[in-house]
Chain A
Amino acid sequence: MRKALGLAAFAAVLACGGANAQQVNVKIGVLSDMSSLYADIGGPGSVAAAKLAIADFTKDHPNVKVEMISGDHQNKPDIGSQIANQWYDVDKVDMIIDVPNSGVALAVSQIANQKNKIFIVSGAAASTLTGEKCNANTVHWTYDTWMLANGTGKAMVKTGGDTWFFLTADYAFGHALETDTAAVVEKNGGKVLGKVRHPLNTNDFSSFLLQAQSSKAKVIGLANAGGDTINSIKQAAEFGIVKGGQSLAGLLVFASDVAALGLPTAQGLVLTETWYWDANDANRAWTKRWHEAGAAAGKFPTMIHAGVYAGITHYLKARLAMGPGEHDGKSVVAKMKSIPTDDPLFGKGEVRADGRVIHPAYLFEVKKPSESKYPGDFYKTRATIPANEAFRPLNEGKCPLVSG
């Protein structure tokens, strides 16, 4: 009796254990800030976007099997590195995506390079990721500090804001954004009058805003993001900065920040993004599905979430093209660079040799409360910057992959 049972069990195992020879297996890790100041621009929304991307792709290609896990790097490079190491080494993750927070992203980029795995950045901004610190395992989607500086910075200088004072978050992202924007300002005939660096996650900006006020610069550039930007703008309104004649340049502002500020405070703010949920019917339809995939009701997806969706879609396309079996990170990324990108959210673009993904950027202005007709109706489009102008030229980045 026992022998028969054992044989039956063995047969059952054989029957369901046989893998399809054409099957492509990948494991993706969504590493984001799940609980702190960047949790609304990335966070659980990125996980929802990832679920959508995987569902859409595997529906059309059932022989691709995708496993997804997620983790919280808490904006700390040491925690992010520890998770990345564990995922790549122990949990057999092939590709990590998202990572808002440039400090963490730079660390994970090095780890992906060392272990020859793949890292697609959607959340972080530092342009050094495709500049001096570029490598053959990292792809930078969605946006970067150069694009922000070129979009918002150039627009403000051209409309008369030719003297600047920077409020900079004192870590990799803030420094990169400040450097890139200062370069744009000076290239277009402006002058940087001064700067002050504040710690990440600062509550009170009154002291820094006072310094900005006394500099008499025409534009106060906010080289920070998330809660820091919200606090800066809120307190700038309190101190009568805009009424006193200076303008605020929110160099990195997301729709979720505008929601947190409220339109009365945020109106008139000029910002650059590469994706807006209400721009067209395709984006609106995607936003509805994003809510159904588990994102919080009442929140709106940001360009980072869209970048996670598009990045995973392109990665899976490349993996499918390479066929089943193991493929190392560098060869998959090379494949991603050889296929042009095309997805419903960003349209057509390409992954450049330095890992930078090119797509159009848009200059938005925050609507007045009277102009907003429904929740989430935040932006009006001021200009479209075509893909080949929106990002830093390939030869200016000092990326070793390009010049070498």
Chain B
Amino acid sequence: MIEIFGIPSQALFGQLLIGLINGSFYALLSLGLAVIFGMLNIINFSHGAQYMMGAFAAYLILQYSGLGYWPALIIAPIIVGITGIVVERVFLQWLYKLDHLYGLLLTFGLALIFEGVARNYFGSAGLPYTVPESLQGGRNLGFMFLPNYRAWVIVASLAICIGTWFIIERTRLGAYLRAATENPTLVRAFGINVPRMITLTYGFGVALAAFAGVMAAPIYNVSPQMGSELIIVVFAVVVIGGMGSILGAIITGFGLGVVEGLTKVFFPEASNTVIFVIMAIVLLVRPAGLFGRRA
């Protein structure tokens, strides 16, 4: 068995695959954030709370209607997306003309409220949610045991990420959206309902977060603080990728997942700080991020 840096190559490949899987989670989450910031210029700090709401929605859907994982994958993002639309109509639409900071403060406050309410009703230890039967078990790949659910996570994330990127960068709808954020007045003059597009885009970004939450529910602990633990990392991913760039968020998400995975092998104690070290270095060298558009 070949050894690379003292670790057997088989073990290393296993860790790389795990890193890719985690990266797909980061990519999915940072996609929503990048869409919202890139399109709307809102720093959506409640993204983590909306991810948590997606997971809780999946649990509640199971409790109250008996519908399991597959229906929840569709219903939960719709429900949470609608709450996102309400938030946008009631609060955010007044903040577009103001400094970025106001949007950040508002969404941060909302995140604290959502988390506090969840903790008040459900406690902080978490709620049980199991892997759906069709995805239980796994296969032995030789160098590691790959759970079927993790394979599904990679496939679903890639599909959603590529789909979203395609819609925004390559379709007419995406073109309208990108134009609307650059020059809303001109686009309105063409008869396109810009405020509605913005509202729906925010709802879509929030729905993406909730979708990631439902995907997380079977494998991560469904607790009120699950979002706040992840959101800081996701912000770092988006900053490194470039705040306006969708492709940047996707590629950086996968890349950083791999980097974190390797750190867990060679220096596990640092595994939750390595992303921030990289963020600091990237910001020093390329302040706009790796794929960022604004200089």
A residues with a Cβ closer than 8 A to B are 35-37, 39-41, 43, 170, 196-199, 201-204, 206-208, 210-211, 213-214, 226-227, 230-231, 234-235, 238-240, 244, 256-257, 259-262, 264-265, 296, 298-299
Contact = CB atoms under 8 A, between A and B. Distances in A.
A257 B123 CA distance: 11
Contacts of A196: 268
Given A203-B230, A207-B271, A230-B221, 12 more contacts: A36-B124, A37-B124, A39-B119, A40-B123, A198-B271, A202-B272, A210-B18, A238-B218, A260-B127, A260-B128, A265-B128, A298-B123
Contact of A213 (B145, B219, B229, B268): B145
B220 interface: yes
A404 B125 CA distance: 42
Interface of B: 8, 10-11, 14-15, 18-19, 21-22, 119-120, 123-128, 130-131, 137-138, 144-145, 147, 149-150, 218-221, 223, 225-226, 229-230, 261, 264-265, 268-269, 271-273
A203 B145 contact: no
A260 B125 CA distance: 6
A259 B125 CA distance: 8
Contact of A204 (B22, B119, B131, B273): B22
Nearest to A45: B123
A265 to B, nearest CB: 7
B274 to A, nearest CB: 11
Contacts of B229: 201, 203
B265 to A, nearest CB: 7
Contacts of A199: 269, 271-273
Nearest to B267: A197
A352 to B, nearest CB: 32
Contacts of B265: 207, 211
Contact of A210 (B14, B137, B273): B14
A208 B125 contact: no
B14 A39 contact: no
A228 to B, nearest CB: 9
Closest 9 interchain pairs by CB? A262-B128, A260-B126, A40-B125, A39-B124, A207-B264, A256-B125, A260-B125, A199-B272, A230-B221
A180 B201 CA distance: 54
A43 B264 contact: no
A204 B219 CA distance: 9
14 contacts: A199-B269, A203-B229, A204-B22, A206-B18, A207-B18, A207-B264, A210-B18, A230-B125, A231-B220, A238-B131, A257-B125, A262-B130, A264-B128, A296-B123
Which of A207, A227, A235, A264 gathers most chain B CB within 10 Å?
Answer: A207
Contact of B130 (A40, A41, A226, A265): A265
A92 to B, nearest CB: 30
Given A39-B119, A227-B221, A239 B138 contact: yes
A35 B261 contact: no
Nearest to A207: B264
B268 A197 contact: yes
Contacts of A207: 15, 18-19, 261, 264-265, 268, 271
Nearest to A227: B221
A202 to B, nearest CB: 7
Contacts of B131: 238
A211 to B, nearest CB: 7
Contact of B145 (A37, A231, A239): A239
Contacts of B130: 262, 264-265
Nearest to A261: B128
Contact of A235 (B144, B219, B225): B219
A234 B147 CA distance: 13
Contact of A35 (B11, B19, B21, B119): B119
A305 to B, nearest CB: 13
Contacts of A210: 11, 14-15, 18, 144
A248 B226 CA distance: 24
Given A40-B124, A226-B125, A240-B138, A206 B221 contact: no
Contacts of A36: 124, 225
Contacts of B124: 35-37, 39-40, 43
Contacts of B21: 206
A5 B22 CA distance: 75
Contact of B268 (A40, A208, A261): A208
A206 B269 contact: no
A231 B22 contact: no
A309 B85 CA distance: 47
